[in-house]
Amino acid sequence: MTTTDAAPEAGARLRAVGLKVTAPRLAVLQAVAGAGHLDADAVHARITGELPGTSLQSVYNVLGALTDAGLLRRIEPAGSPALYESRIGDNHHHVVCTRCRAVADVECVVGEPPCLVPGESTGAASGFAIHTAEVTFWGLCADCRVALEASALEASAPEASAAEASALETPAPVASA
């Protein structure tokens, strides 16, 4: 993937939503494309090689304009800065690691909003027409699970190896004919 291949396509996408094609918009769009979930700092770091004079504030402005135009999607998991992604229009959800804040996409079974509707509403909520359900799953990512298991093993190393040793000496009975 080279910038020269991607630039005309990015330009066409900007024009399609009525945005003027500018170097920062092209650079931000290409920086976010296929890069997962990036915060403004990460986008800024990715484009400063190409556009050295670009300020973080202008990256924020461009990200805001591209999000408002529907070319990028913004998510804001609790405890994380706003994250931007190029995967739009499929109503996918996110799973966030409670330990390292890694974010991954989770497919939406329905694929369009709202894929969840609330139960019977009363009072003020009953007047709402629901158009979106924002779903964030929280858990531990694979790397953090490995790290936590390793540190738990380390903390209980003497007991664990003793238990392992005795388990080896007395193998569990194996079912035989």
Per CB under 5 A, residues contacting Zn ion are 85, 97, 99-100, 102, 105, 141, 144
141 is in an annotated binding site: yes
Quick check: helix, strand or coil at residue 133? coil
Q: Rounded to the nearest whole angstrom, what is the least distance from the CB of residue 158 to Zn ion in the complex?
A: 28
Q: Rounded to the nearest whole angstrom, what is the least distance from the CB of residue 86 to Zn ion in the complex?
A: 9
Residues in the chain: 177
Q: Rounded to the nearest whole angstrom, what is the least distance from the CB of residue 105 to Zn ion in the complex?
A: 4
Contacts of 94 (CB under 8 A, 6+ apart): 37, 75, 77, 103, 104, 105, 106, 135, 136, 137
Q: Rounded to the nearest whole angstrom, what is the least distance from the CB of residue 177 to Zn ion in the complex?
A: 47
- DSSP letter at 56 equals H
Amino acid at 146: V
Q: Rounded to the nearest whole angstrom, what is the least distance from the CB of residue 64 to Zn ion in the complex?
A: 18
Instruction: State the DSSP H helix or E strand holding residue 32, giving kind and residue range, or none if neither.
Output: helix 23-32
Residue (7 or 102) nearer to Zn ion, CB: 102
Contacts of 34 (CB under 8 A, 6+ apart): 86
CA 36 to chain centre: 6
Nearest to 26 by CA among 68, 59, 70: 59
Nearest to 28 by CA among 41, 13, 46: 46
Cite the annotated binding site by residue number: 97, 100, 112, 141, 144
Cite the annotated binding site for Fe cation by residue number: 112
